[in-house]
Structure 1
Amino acid sequence: MIELLVVTVGGGVGAAARFVVDGEIRTRHSGGFPWGTFVVNVVGSFLIGVFSTLFFALLHRGVPGDLAHLLQLALTVGLCGGFTTFSTATVESVRLARSGRLRLALANALGTLAVTVTAAGLGLAVGGLFY
């Protein structure tokens, strides 16, 4: 039951953060490309990489396994899961394609995939510095 609670709280915080970050970016960058969604997915992927290694770093430093596990769930599944939104990125790519902006649709779909995977890898590397 505690696992569900930490994921729920983390998810709520992540979704609220996504709403704020996406809204701020949208007000500053109008136009065809969905920069808000792109940025939250890249940042979230990086953080998931960092937080994924945090679990092992905490265990290595003597933090009890149950506590480290709950923290990992709260941060990766909850916070980052609520913050990122790949389904929205997909819908935005389809909308761009349907409106005839195929280059933007392709840039969004492939760019999101390439940059988020790279960001996750960098996050793992950065997180590994703490292990």
Structure 2
Amino acid sequence: MTAWRVQAPVVAVVALGGAVGASARYAASLVRPTPVGGFPWTTLGVNVLGCALIGVLMVVAGRARAVHRLVRPFLGTGVLGGFTTFSTYALDVRQLVEGGRFRAGLAYLVLTPSAALVAVGTAAWLTRRVLTWRQA
């Protein structure tokens, strides 16, 4: 029972953050919906932006002297985990392929994780550079 008492606040902030992130992702899909048969630019953008923000968070939280223990689970796992979406990405790939747009589906299949990795790496690198510059 003691382990649950320690982890219960973490579970709560992840759930709360997930609701915030998923709501933001859904709002983006309402603002810029993917037309039937269209390329899922909004989902791609959300996933790349979310990964870039995760890169920033990793560096900032890693360098902070005093960060509350619930900040990382709330922002990283919760908000940004809820904001980015592997399930919609997989569904979009399937819909493109089944809709006869094999090349677009293959491009999207490769582009999303590639762009996400570049985004997290570049954002982390830039954040380190900015923090180092500000400390100088």
**Interval of TM-score (by shorter of Structure 1 and Structure 2):** 0.7 to 0.9
Q: Which residue of 2 aligns with 1:43?
A: 49
Instruction: Give the structure 2 partner of residue 89 of structure 1.
Output: 89
Shift of 1:92: 0.8
Percent same amino acid at aligned positions?
A: 35
- For the 8 Å contact 1:54–1:72, the answer to whether it is kept is no
Q: Provide the C-alpha distance between the structure 1 equivalents of 2:124 and 2:98, rounded to a whole number of angstroms.
A: 36
Report the residue type matching 1:76 in the other structure: G
Q: Which runs of 5+ in 1 are unaligned?
A: none
Matched AA of 1:7? V
Could you say which residue in structure 1 is the equivalent of 2:23? 16
Shift of 1:125: 1.3
Deviation at 1:98, TM superposition (A): 1.2
Structure 2 CA distance, aligned partners of 1:23 and 1:47? 21
**Counterpart code for 2:63:** A
Which structure 2 residues correspond to residues 7-86 of structure 1 after superposition, within 5 A?
A: 7-26=14-33, 30=35, 32-59=38-65, 63=66, 67=68, 69-86=69-86
Amino acid at match of 1:43: L
2:100 paired residue number: 100
Once the two structures are TM-superposed, the CA of residue 21 in structure 1 deviates from its matched residue by 1.1
Partner of 1:130: 131
- Contact 1:7/1:79 (<8 A) preserved: yes
Task: Write the distance in 1 (CA, Å) between the matches of 2:30 and 2:127.
Answer: 28
Contact 1:32 1:104 in 2 (8 A): no
Q: What is the DSSP-based 3-state SS (H/G/I as helix, E as strand, rest coil) of the residue aligned with 2:118?
A: helix
Task: Give me the TM-score of the superposition, normalised by structure 2.
Answer: 0.83
Give, as a single letter, the amino acid of the residue that structure 1 aligns with 2:105. A
Q: Distance in 2 between matches of 1:83 and 1:118?
A: 18
Shift of 1:5: 1.5
Point out where structure 2 has 5 or more consecutive residues left out of the alignment.
Answer: 1-7
For residues 78 and 17 of structure 1, the distance between their equivalents in structure 2, rounded to whole angstroms, comes to 12
Q: Is the 8 A contact 1:52 1:127 kept in 2?
A: no
